[in-house]
A and B are shown apart, each in its own frame.
Chain A
């Protein structure tokens, strides 16, 4: 049996006056992983996060943190970087970090030590005595990130983490996130820009129109959505018609080079195709076409569309 997930959502419902935000969402978030919570704007991601961070409560259903029903004592173990981020503008960086850390239950002494080490790591130590409003945007972002992880939470929730970060800071943050994961923290990414986190996520859940449409380890999902399609590059003449496969795309290039996209028919293995290719042409490249999470999402949404149209839930922006 797999280790206990750090966070479980069980059949969570949440409705606002005008619309349903979450409709029976269940999730397991494995400990020590990077988990992508993906979906278009208004799908319900932020609603779910606000329930996990105890900003709002669910109408029904349950959230369990390490098997325990979520309660205020867990706040100290969760770090949250909201999409709408900000700091007290007229407060000094050091004081602000200390204040936020203490609100999360840290002692003054511990917090002071850790603030020092984080400021040193991010190279902004001389700024501890400056007011936040005097900092550049990039530095404010660093401070904001420090505030999120300062109390060494075991669960870190980052809502649209890279929006607003410049590329240099985004990379810095990315490295820090991986380092945190390696030290045992669990990270939830929430984003509608799926390609931005695809490479970092171990598992994902796709949410659309208040429902979870898909979840699981990235590898498994991709395997599941593979279409037995291969890219082939080479030199020579390739048979376009064959009983075992179908050429979806064919491009002739100079000097008899070609590029083809080939879909295998059921029962054919990639090795069968390769064997055939080797016998007929000079193979330069052979690679499986793996769908991106974005493609999978779009396919999945199309598949589930009739159902959601039937229920006629209002779309929210």
Chain B
């Protein structure tokens, strides 16, 4: 045990003392904060879509198309479609699309409506326009059937949904924006850290092998001690880096909050920039289309002065605990595999072919987790199974944490991860043990599988 401790110390200190570590620690939060502010600014400055409407029918549909913050309908100029098209192309300020209702259009025959634009109209814009047209046609039909305008206005439901999470004690009001944002950030962090530091483990082992110090080391310590010492030492580096990032981000956002508040005052909608992270949630999460009136997200004056206010209502304790556990578990599982690759190959360039099967589940779980978030189904079967399989659970489970995960699933997934970690470490240690002293041999998968059964 003493020796593992010495190895951990060396691995930790040599890395933490490097300039690159310092630079990463300082630059990381800056980059993170910077990119989030950038995204916030980009999405904050997006103006409402302008749609020109050329209506040749007799339905007066333009008056029924209601403009919102998102989309604005204006009458197209010109006497026919051709002129309208020309005018649309030359329009200043720029218009985003031209909506055309042919003369044949009636309330009962809604065929022939065209949406013209320079290039493709993106799906989101199409669906916004379609919704507006649907609504307008619906209202026209209602008024044709004899209802007066007051009645029609009265019929509008104006529903607001409050999703309540029953897994939380007392039923917690769901905050879709913050939850989704947290899910994104957490899964990206886990993915990134496992990858970066897993590769560091691999390169560390490769360095020991290529500098030929391995045999000296192995005559002093057991291969398993050397491998675990390196993995744990680097884990300590990760945690240090992580703590530094958190502290620095906290400092930065606390400092930046007053500045951001000033710009808020100038540029409504205010909610979009109330905090760096929160802004990012808005830009990324389609679910965050929710109106700014959503009480949990819209910053009260008190919340705006605290950039971490968005965390209110999230199960922060579970998230931090779960994040640390699943991140560490995933890191240990993957880095053991990375270590065995580093031990197996002579040359770093040969490592590519063996990294492939390791990166596949990592990338896959990341992509599928993003998918789960986008589809808004963090408790569905895909999410469930991804968060149970040890190779994918570190990312998938961390993604699910902000949405609230039943305790039994956390425990089951956690135990499976521990088992998976023990399993991969066992396999990796056996490959490692043989690989570190094997030089000049072209390694194949068949060879690797044989190594697992070599005697001590």
Contact A86 B450 (CB under 8 A): no
Binds A, one of B69-77, B211-219, B266-274: B211-219
CB distance from A77 to the nearest CB of B (A): 12
Please classify the interface of chain A as helix (H, G, I), strand (E, B), loop, or mixed, using the class held by over half of its residues. Answer: loop
**Cβ of B450: which chain A residues have Cβ within 8 Å of it?**
17
A104 within 8 A of partner (CB): yes
**Cβ of A91: which chain B residues have Cβ within 8 Å of it?**
14
Known: A102-B6, A147-B216. A88 touches B211 (CB 8 A): yes
Contact B219 A53 (CB under 8 A): yes
Number of A residues whose C-beta is below 8 Å from B?
Answer: 26
- Scoring A54, A57, A89, A99 by chain B CB atoms within 10 A of each residue's CB, the highest score goes to A99
Cα A55 to Cα B7 in complex, Å, equals 18
CB distance from B20 to the nearest CB of A (A): 12
Contact A57 B455 (CB under 8 A): yes
B422 within 8 A of partner (CB): no
Query: Which partner residue on chain A sits nearest B216 by CB separation?
Result: A82
Number of B residues whose C-beta is below 8 Å from A?
Answer: 24
A85 within 8 A of partner (CB): yes
**Cβ of A78: which chain B residues have Cβ within 8 Å of it?**
219
**Cβ of B218: which chain A residues have Cβ within 8 Å of it?**
55
Known: A84-B212, A90-B14. A99 touches B6 (CB 8 A): yes
A100 within 8 A of partner (CB): yes
**Cβ of A172: which chain B residues have Cβ within 8 Å of it?**
none
B221 within 8 A of partner (CB): yes
**Cβ of B325: which chain A residues have Cβ within 8 Å of it?**
none
**Cβ of B455: which chain A residues have Cβ within 8 Å of it?**
57, 59
Cα A86 to Cα B14 in complex, Å, equals 18
**Cβ of B7: which chain A residues have Cβ within 8 Å of it?**
103
A227 within 8 A of partner (CB): no
Contact A84 B215 (CB under 8 A): yes
Contact with A along B195-229 (1 / 0, CB 8 A): 00000000000011001111111111100000000
Contact B213 A80 (CB under 8 A): no
A87 within 8 A of partner (CB): yes
B437 within 8 A of partner (CB): yes
Query: Which partner residue on chain B sits nearest A84 by CB separation?
Result: B212
Contact A55 B212 (CB under 8 A): no
User: Which of B213, B437, B456 is A86 in contact with, Cβ under 8 Å?
Assistant: B213
Contact A87 B219 (CB under 8 A): no
Contact A84 B439 (CB under 8 A): yes
**Cβ of A90: which chain B residues have Cβ within 8 Å of it?**
14
Contact A99 B211 (CB under 8 A): no
**Cβ of B216: which chain A residues have Cβ within 8 Å of it?**
80, 82, 85-86, 100, 147
CB distance from B362 to the nearest CB of A (A): 28
- A residues contacting B by CB (< 8 A) are 17, 50, 53-57, 59, 75, 78, 80, 82, 84-91, 99-100, 102-104, 147
Can you list 6 residue pairs at the A/B interface with Cβ under 8 Å?
Answer: A53-B219, A54-B219, A80-B219, A85-B213, A91-B14, A103-B6
